[in-house]
Amino acid sequence: MLKNSFSSLPMPPKAPESTAAPRRPRTTGSRRLRYYYYRFLRLQGSPQAIARGLAAGVFAGCFPIFGFQTLVGIAIAIPARGNKIAAAAGTWVSNPFTYVPIYFFNLRLGERLLGRPVDLTGLDGQAADFGTQLLNLGSDVVLTLFLGCAVSGLVLATLGYALGLWAIQRFQHSRRQRRRERKQAAMVNG
């Protein structure tokens, strides 16, 4: 009896097959890098401020202060009136793939500047534990490394500023040019 009373009710409409949002296709690594490159170039602010932020981040990225490079880069960018997002991006000059070569170069540079070699017999080459191993070697090694980091950081920050300023100005100019061309084409066609 109950069965008959429910069968007379209208059935609700069927739900669509899939209500989930369509999945984005996976992007390749080069496409992702290009995306972040253009996103970096589209940062708001003057090209000089963005380039100053980039230079501050590159300088901080040359030091082996793992976990604090971004904070130091932003802290340097604030009094330099640089873009803080560009400063955070600039610290990516050092990453797990480049830690050991950069800091080895900086250590050798510090040795050359001071004119004395450093004993590295306590290092075993593990990149994850590199900072702790350096601290265990003593203050002489750390000071030598930081001197090399400061010098290479100044050089790379200067190059980063110049290249960043050039790239940002070029990108912004071409972007303004494309907007003008589209506006003129719209006026002609419209």
User: pLDDT by residue (tens digit) across 106-127?
Assistant: 989 999 999 888 777 666 655 5
Question: Global pTM?
Answer: 0.69
The predicted pLDDT at position 104 comes to 86
Instruction: Output the pLDDT for position 35.
Output: 79
Contacts (Cβ under 8 Å, ≥6 apart) of 161: 51, 52, 54, 55
Phi first, then psi: give them for residue 167, nearest 5 degrees. -65, -40
* Torsion over CA: 94, 99, 102, 107 (sign): positive
- What pLDDT is stored for residue 96 in this prediction? 83
> Would you state the structure tokens that stand for residue 182, as one six-digit string?
């589209």
